[in-house]
Amino acid sequence: MTQAPPPADMKLQRSSRDATTLPARMSAWLATVLPEGSEPSVTLHSGVDANGMSSETLILDAEWTEEGERRRAELVARVAPSAHDLPVFPSYALQDQYDAMRLVGELTDVPVPTVRWMEPTGEVLGTPFFLMDRVDGLVPQDVLPYNFGDNWLHDAAPEDQRRLQDESVTVLAKLHGIPDAEETFGFLAPPHAGGTLLERNLARTRAWYDFAVADIGRSPTVERALAWLEGNVPETDEAVLCWGDSRIGNVMYRDFEPVAVLDWEMAAIGPRELDVSWIVFAHQVFEAITGMLAMPGMPHFLREEDVVAEYERVSGATLGDLRWYHVYNGVQWAIVFMRTGARQIHFGEIERPDDIESLFHHKPLLDRLLDDVGA
C-alpha cells in the first residue's frame, strides 16, 4: 500500500465557531463569576493551531475591576469542540481536566498552569470551557513535527536535547508518584467494564474505535491489533495517575526544562507503562513520518532504552515489557488519524480516501509492532 505523506501545510481546522462573537460573550460571563461591579472586558488574540488535534485553545487577555483597582490577566481558554465539528473523542469531560490540573498543582511541584474559572454548561460558547493562566515558553512543534528540522529543539545541542528528555521523564515519575491515585483521581477511572483498570482502559479504546468507524469506516489493522490486545492483557492492578497524552508536544519549556504540562483530556488511572510508552511512541510516530519522506529525523532522541533507564532511576520503579503498551498506543494513534481524517473530509480539506489506512502516518510502525508480537 502506498502511504500518503502529510500535507505540506499540516494545520487542521478544528472548529466552525465564529470567533468574532467570543469576546463579548466571555466578558458577559466573567461578570457573573467576578465580584459585582467588576466590568470585565476580554481581548481575544488568537487560537492555537500549531499543536494538538482536539480541543480548541484560545489566547486572550481579561481586565476587570476588583477592590477599586483595574486588574489584568493573561489567560488561555480550553474549549470543548462542538459535536458537529467531528471531535476526536466521543466526549470531553472538561471538568475532569480542570480538576486533574488543579489537584496536580496542589499535590506536586509538576508545573501545571493555574486554573481559574470553569464554565460547565456550554451556554456561553455553545460548549463548556475553562480559563487558566497563560505561561510563557516554547513547545516542540507538531506542525510540522519538530524532528523535521529547522526549529529550536531539532537544532539544539545534544546535551540540551537530553536535558529536555530527562526532565520530561521526571515529570512522569512525579505524576506517577502521587499517593492514593485511585482514590484522589477516581473520577478519571474509565466508565467501562473490565476486571482491572487496564482492561477498562482497553474497553474505552475499543468504544472509541467503534465511535470513529461511524464517520470513516473500519480498519483491518486496528481490528487485528485490538483482537491481539484483548487476548494478551498484562496482569497488573497498578493504579497511578496517567497524564495520558504524555508527549513533549504537550509541554512548554524554558531553557529546555518544563514550565507547563498541558492537555489533560486523555488523563486516566492505570499502570505507569501507559505514559512511558506514549512518550516514546509519540516520537516514533514522527520518526516514521520522516522515514517515509527520506528525512534524517532525530533517531537519537527519546530512545526507549534511554527513557526507561531514566524513568527507573528517578522513580525507583521497575517497568514491565512495553510492547503491549506500544501496540495499544499504536491503536490510539490510528483512531486519532481516523478522526482527524474524517474532520478534514468534513471541512473539505481532503477527499475521502479509498483506503482509510492511508491516513495512518504511522502505518509501517504499527505493522512492524504487530508482526513483532505475532498478532
Active-site residue list: 245
Q: Peptide bond preceding 302: is omega within 30 degrees of 0, i.e. cis? A: no
Cβ-Cβ contacts under 8 Å for 202 (sequence gap 6 or more): 194, 229, 230, 233, 328
d(CA 330, CA 269) in angstroms, rounded, equals 19
- Give the separation between CA 65 and CA 48, rounded to whole angstroms: 28
Omega before residue 144 within 30° of 0, cis: yes
| DSSP three-state, residue 261 | strand
Using the 8-state DSSP alphabet, how is residue 295 labeled? -
Nearest to 268 by CA among 362, 189, 192, 338: 189
Give the residue from 45, 78, 74 showing the smallest Cα distance to 133.
74
Grid coordinates representing 375 are 498478532
Helix or strand run (H / E) with residue 21: none
3-state secondary structure of 298: coil
How many DSSP H helices and E strands does the chain contain? 10, 9
Place of cell 480516501: 353
End-to-end CA distance of the chain: 19
Q: Answer yes or no: are the C-beta atoms of 240 and 315 closer than 8 Å.
A: no
Cβ atoms of residues 161 and 152 within 8 Å: no
d(CA 8, CA 349): 12
Question: What are the phi and psi torsion angles at 46 (to 5°)?
Answer: -175, 170
* 156 burial type by CB count under 10 A (0-12 exposed, 13-18 middle, 19+ buried): middle
Q: Where are the beta strands (DSSP E) in 207-346?
A: 240-242, 251-254, 257-261, 268-270
Among candidates 169, 205, 223, which has minimal Cα distance to 89?
A: 205
